[in-house]
């Protein structure tokens, strides 16, 4: 990764891995509110892209557009080179044109939410095997074996038969990461994974995410943890008011920011 403030467009492509996520000129309006104003971001295989920005900058919306939890108003989204087909929704926005296509694409994206969102009527193990068994059609015994390995990995082997409501926030979030890993995602999407946690529980979750980054997993991470973003990210995108204000490698963005707004933002969060 060069030190220059390179946008993804003019970075040399020949020696780079394939694009896992490609977002081009994405717009999102909520009624009169224009949240994303032509954002282009991409993540290549093995990259960890951290999206930072102030409250209301559109960073969570951007992440949620990747798997169409929010339907973009316009723009292009490609996942592993496959473009999500959109059609007009009749109100000036767009919706996925093909439900099966978006469902298939979603199974390649392991989403981790701010508020964990484990299914409350299932034990942790049932949560982790749910999608492999019922969506991906993997045999139950096989899914259970994988799930046990993953729970071991996030340090929750002893919680397999516990319901989410009886676990701490940090445990629930680690469980949610295991659930995401169980689908063997091409890309992991993290939507402020530590924002809902008590300060003393943040560390255990960040450690799990850092381990994933180390093993070369492709990840897009929306976060408020600047120190963490600097540590694990290979590429950082600073969003301001629905636009990419500045992007580049972490050393440069955090060490030598160019934009006044980013400087201001970094002063405020430190």
Please pick, from the candidates 25, 115, 184, 264, the single residue that binds another protein as defined by CB under 8 A. 115
Q: At its nearest, how many Å lie between another protein and the CB of residue 87? A: 17
Nearer to another protein, 195 or 234 (CB): 195
Q: Which is nearer to another protein, 30 or 166 (CB)?
A: 166
Question: Residues 165, 260, 267, 270: which binds another protein (CB under 8 A)?
Answer: 165
- Among the listed residues 50, 6, 7, 111, the one whose alpha carbon sits nearest the alpha carbon of residue 234: 50
Within 8 A by CB and 6+ apart from 254, the residues are 226, 229, 230, 236, 266
Q: How far is the CB of 122 from another protein (least distance, A)?
A: 7
* Residue 62: alpha-carbon gap to chain centroid: 10
Q: Does position 118 bind another protein by CB under 8 A? A: yes
Alpha helices in 12-139 (DSSP H): 59-66, 99-106, 124-134
Measured between alpha carbons, how far is 29 from 112 in angstroms, rounded to an integer? 24
**Which one of 116, 228, 240, 265 is in contact with another protein (CB under 8 A)?**
116
- Let me know: does 189 contact 63? Beta carbons within 8 Å: yes
Minimum distance of another protein from residue 176's CB (angstroms): 8
The DSSP 8-state label assigned to residue 81 in this structure reads T
Closest separation in Å from C-beta 120 to another protein: 5
d(CA 76, CA 261) in angstroms, rounded, equals 27
Which residues between 181 and 210 bind another protein (CB under 8 A)? 183
- Tell whether residue 130 is a contact of another protein (CB under 8 A): yes
Interface residues with another protein (CB under 8 A)? 67, 69, 99, 102-107, 109, 111, 113, 115-123, 130-131, 134-135, 163-166, 183
């Amino acid at each position: 990764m060069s030190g220059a403030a390179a946008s993804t467009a003019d970075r040399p492509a020949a020696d780079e891995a394939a694009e896992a996520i490609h977002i081009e000129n994405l717009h999102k309006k909520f009624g009169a509110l224009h949240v994303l104003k032509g954002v282009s971001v991409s993540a290549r295989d093995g990259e960890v892209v951290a999206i930072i920005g102030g409250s209301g900058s559109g960073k969570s919306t951007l992440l949620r557009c990747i798997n169409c939890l929010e339907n973009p108003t316009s723009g292009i989204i490609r996942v592993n080179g496959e473009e999500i087909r959109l059609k007009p929704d009749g109100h000036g926005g767009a919706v996925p044109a093909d439900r099966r296509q978006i469902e298939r694409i979603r199974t390649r994206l392991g989403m981790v939410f701010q508020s964990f969102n484990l299914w409350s009527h299932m034990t942790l193990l049932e949560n982790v095997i749910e999608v492999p068994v019922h969506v991906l059609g993997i045999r139950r015994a096989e899914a259970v074996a994988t799930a046990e390995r993953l729970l071991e990995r996030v340090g929750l082997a002893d919680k397999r038969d516990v319901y989410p409501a009886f676990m701490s926030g940090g445990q629930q979030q680690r469980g949610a990461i295991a659930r995401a890993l169980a689908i063997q995602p091409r890309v992991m999407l993290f939507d402020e994974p530590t924002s809902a946690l008590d300060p003393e529980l943040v560390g255990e979750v960040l450690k799990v995410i850092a381990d994933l980054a180390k093993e070369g997993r492709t990840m897009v991470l929306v976060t408020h943890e600047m120190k963490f973003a600097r540590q694990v990210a290979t590429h950082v995108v600073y969003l301001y008011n629905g636009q990419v204000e500045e992007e580049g490698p972490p050393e440069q963005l955090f060490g030598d920011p160019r934009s006044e707004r980013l400087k201001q933002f970094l002063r405020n969060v430190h």
